[in-house]
Amino acid sequence: MRRRVHQINGHKFMATYLRQPTYCSHCREFIWGVFGKQGYQCQVCTCVVHKRCHHLIVTACTCQNNINKVDSKIAEQRFGINIPHKF
């Protein structure tokens, strides 16, 4: 069975079962529930949110910048070009 990925602002949210008490990164409220998948967790930065809050996220995924830096380094090494900015 394939789990659905919800991509928002660089986050890659997937429904997840939370094994310990967790607070939503968006609304700061406790994520309740014992059975099933109670929230969404970003597979890149591990940010956790309510299912009802995942589409409200306005902050970009913090690890997305690191991925862009790695891509720039690879381009610089492979092609001998320097890409100082991405606007």
What does the pLDDT look like over 11-57, one tens digit per residue? 999 999 988 889 999 999 999 877 788 899 999 998 999 999 988 99
Sheet with 11-16: strands ordered across? 5-8, 11-16, 39-42, 48-50
Higher pLDDT, 72 or 48: 48
Domains of the chain: 5-79 (3.30.60.20)
| In the predicted structure, residue 2 carries a pLDDT above the cut 90 | no
25: left (phi over 0), alpha (psi -120 to 50) or beta: alpha
For residue 60, give both structure tokens: 């970009």
pTM for this prediction: 0.66
What local confidence, expressed as pLDDT, does residue 76 receive? Answer: 62
Look at residue 37 in the predicted model and tell me its pLDDT: 87
Residue 10 has pLDDT above 80, yes or no: yes
